[in-house]
Structure 1
């Protein structure tokens, strides 16, 4: 299970590099931060249950933040 977090780190690094190449600096920094988070978690020796709980917590925060941003900051077309 720990390897999966390192794989997530690799993919977020790839997305961050593509965003940086496309001059989307804020998005790139966000994905670089996620890369560091996933890689650090990947090298910690947690139990599988802890890794699953951390992943669910990450998904909850991510989807809540995404929903908040799309509703209140992007605006709704009328």
Structure 2
């Protein structure tokens, strides 16, 4: 599943690059590299679920910080 996430983040990175959103493209390119690397580690399903939960937690914390303190 992480390889699928890597594919979609790569597509978003390409579209962001073509739309002259360089910072967003670099962010999604970094996520693509991490997701593809995790996809080939062959860890247990439980570890993958913990990693995905940690990713979602970090994303929501970062997104909340950005929308409350940076965009205000």
Q: TM (normalized to structure 1)?
A: 0.92
- TM alignment of 1:1-78, pairs within 5 A: 4-75=1-72
Alpha-carbon distance between aligned partners in 2 of 1:34 and 1:19, rounded to the nearest angstrom: 14
* Unmatched 5+ stretches in structure 1: none
Show structure 1 runs of 4+ deviating over 3 A: none
Deviation at 1:15, TM superposition (A): 0.3
* Unmatched 5+ stretches in structure 2: none
How many residues align? The count is 72
Q: TM (normalized to structure 2)?
A: 0.99
